[in-house]
Amino acid sequence: MAFRWKLVLEARPESPGERQGLAHSCPRLGEGGVRLYRKTVLPNGVRIVTETTPHVRSVTIGFWFRAGSRDEDPAVHGISHFIEHMMFKGTATRTARQIAEEVDAAGGQLNAYTSKEHTCYYARVLDTHLPLAAEILSDMLRHSVFHPVELEKEKSVILEEIRMYEDSPDELVHDLFAEAVLGHHPLGRSVLGQSENILRLTRDDLLRYVADHYTGHNLVVAAAGNVQHEQVVEEIARRFGDLPAGRPGQDEQPVSLRAGTALREKDTEQVHLCIGTLGISRHDPDRFALYVLDTALGGGMSSRLFQELREERGLVYSTYSYHTCFEETGLFAVYAGTSPDHVDEVLHLILLELERVSREGIRGEELRRAKEQLKGSLMLSLESTANRMSRLAKLELFGEEVLTPDEVMARIDAVAEDEMVALCQRLFQRDRLSLAAIGPGAADLAWSPAGGRAGVSD
């Protein structure tokens, strides 16, 4: 049965946390009555979720803020990522070097990343060092000083990161694709921002953004591994109990269905292509069918695209499909990198494959194989406490169903052939396909509004 967290009290004596006004959810039970997932909500809205895996000796803890590039005003585009950098540059009691040395001395790993919809700070440590990890991350998130000298230095670092990204066309093309499909929607923005914006940002800009977005209702703290839920609640309540509650962010914005192009000329050895369309949201009931489709179409060495473009024809070294699910929409794309001489043929073959899958779907042995591959990838990934923490945090942060791995596999197994056909027809309509390309001759690609290359016959 699908499970959603419910804020009801467990049938047990009142705990110290409850006496402090904390709300607890029913625990999710695994084999032998072991509590798999537990959740507590602090009075200021901070959600604490844990997954206990007692047979490991590590713990991964992450602080997830529902604040990303989609939440930025255009004038401060790139500020979410900038703040992520600055959180590592020193607090009132620690220098940046001391932060790094304390984590290294404990044999731990400390990192962070920014996406379009959230920012995550996390640490992976031995279970005995969980209090240290929680204390260091809390210090960074609550007491970073954003020293003006460090801020100016970090601007230079981020400008170099942007230049490095510009020199990586196989990565940059995905940002161009998002722009082509989503246009001026906030989800169409890159995470890094533009150089001119970064140079204009001030310390006051950063502090204002943190005050607005790093609030209780926007924060999920997740931990997975050999961890006790009560210990995590105690650590977080002590350090974040006075965090202003704020208000939940990220109001949904309408997304227009459009077919766009984003073509950039660049002197590279290959032309890098993304062809695709709007996908589906993370709450869409067809999402499990989408996962299977992605796997069959371009998710591995046996996938249709890999076999056709690389193994059969030798036109590419790298090709794959991918999906990204956001709150109100998503993206689905096919990537390929090929020489300028082969662009026409590769575009043509990708379009043919998308048309074929929209007519026929994924059936029979191919469907069975994709399901097994997808289930295997899921279970292998969950051998990492970091992946378990990340999965649990994202589900809570965006209000998704919390399913056990067995329940996820059952949902995958339940995907039927007719569901696959309906989803493919929903996605791959010629008049809604967009193209992004970077490389020699990319600016001259004559991509037609109906989703095809001019002069290429089917």
Catalytic residues, which ones? 84
Locus of tokens 């601007």: 155
Q: Where are the alpha helices (DSSP H) in 332-416?
A: 343-360, 364-381, 385-397, 405-413
Coil, helix or strand at residue 142: helix
Distance CA 54, CA 131 (A): 17
What DSSP character marks residue 13?
Answer: P
And the tokens for 454? Answer: 């001019």
Question: Which residue type does 88 have?
Answer: F
Question: Which residue type does 198 have?
Answer: I
What DSSP character marks residue 21?
Answer: T
Question: Which residue type does 146 have?
Answer: F
Distance CA 196, CA 68 (A): 19
Q: Going by C-beta distance under 8 Å and a sequence separation of 6 or more, which residues neighbour residue 356? A: none
How are beta strands 319-325 and 47-52 bridged, if at all?
unpaired
Distance CA 353, CA 181 (A): 20
Residue whose C-alpha is closest to residue 175's, from 319, 335, 284, 296 = 335
How are beta strands 271-278 and 330-338 bridged, if at all?
antiparallel
Determine contact, residues 253/184, Cβ cutoff 8 Å.
no
And the tokens for 392? Answer: 């649990």
